[in-house]
Amino acid sequence: MGVLSPNRNDAPTVLAVATALVLALAACGTVDGSLADEARDGLTIGIRFDQPGMGQRRADGKYVGFDVDVARYVAAGFGVAEEDITWREARPADRERLIEDGSVDFVVAAYSITDQRRERVAFAGPYFETGQGLLVRSTDTGITGPEALDGRELCSVTGSTSAQKVKDGFAAGVRLVEYGDYSDCVTALLAGKVDAVTTDEAILAGYVAANPELLTLVGEPFTTERYGVGLAKDDAAGLADVETSLEEMIRSGEWRAALERNLGASGMDLPEPPQVTGG
């Protein structure tokens, strides 16, 4: 029996079928696309679940906070209604991974823009500027700023550099205490187990707004932090679309309204909107 040879006339047909298959796969979303492509089926957005005023999942299941309002506005810019948003918790240690592996479409979670993080993700923004602050009990008038913490116990979360910055720059004699979440630090503060909590002032302000008679911010912010919307590093089109939405939110007055709605009760000096400069 002779060996069958391939029919050269079949080559154009094979090529056409292969081309059609690639196009079909792209249409079905199996080929990575921009945020606009992903938004056709809704969006999955990473936020914090445990930060009053910024990003919080309440006991009734509702998601509230300034970051949540920013995320909703950006989603609306892609034509995505709130009921088509899937909220996912984005803890600080997980944010880059969630973006890189596609678990979320973007992150709005008190996400400071840094050169190190830019190596893995892109940032739209900034949409908010804040600085490191200090939270104390309202009855403790002896702490007026970070320099007054010698001999005191200062709480921050595990892996954060915030407390160490205070020790290195302001109060070498401060005793550092770490918990897993800022909510745990605040609980310890209210119980008298620590004397102060430090992280970004915007985050601390949310706890003041929730407990205005018990907690207060002291001193002036002593670092500068710029929050951005984190998304896939190579999605230039998505980056441009998000920044357009951020600019529109600021221009429309909704940015200011969201800030006052979520952090106005804290007594924090509310900042002016930043220039959206591309992270």
Mean pLDDT of all residues in 101-111:
96
Residue 17 is assigned to a structural domain of this protein:
no
Mean pLDDT of all residues in 54-65:
95
Asked if 171 and 248 sit in the same domain, the reply is no
Asked if 142 and 202 sit in the same domain, the reply is yes
H runs (alpha helix) in the chain: 11-27, 35-38, 66-77, 95-100, 115-118, 162-169, 182-190, 201-210, 236-252, 254-263
Range of the domain at 47: 35-130+227-266
Task: For the chain, report the end-to-end CA distance as a whole number of angstroms.
Answer: 69
Cβ–Cβ < 8 Å for 198, 132: yes
User: Would you state the pLDDT for residue 32?
Assistant: 54
When comparing pLDDT for 202 and 88, which is higher?
Answer: 88
Asked if 188 and 139 sit in the same domain, the reply is yes
Q: What is the pTM of this model?
A: 0.79
The candidate with the shortest Cα–Cα distance to 138, out of 208, 198, 200, 197, is 208
Residue 12 is assigned to a structural domain of this protein:
no
Cα 154–chain centre separation: 24
Residue 27 is assigned to a structural domain of this protein:
no
Token couple for 146: 């970070």
The enclosing domain of 233 has a CATH number of: 3.40.190.10
Asked if 211 and 75 sit in the same domain, the reply is no
User: Would you state the pLDDT for residue 20?
Assistant: 44
Is the pLDDT assigned to residue 275 strictly greater than 80? yes
Per residue in 132-162, pLDDT (tens digit) is 999 999 999 999 999 999 999 999 987 677 8
Residue 14 is assigned to a structural domain of this protein:
no
Per residue in 164-218, pLDDT (tens digit) is 889 999 999 999 999 988 889 999 999 999 999 999 998 999 899 889 999 999 9
> What is the number of domains present in the chain?
2
10 Å CB burial of residue 41 (0-12, 13-18, 19+) is exposed
User: Would you state the pLDDT for residue 31?
Assistant: 35
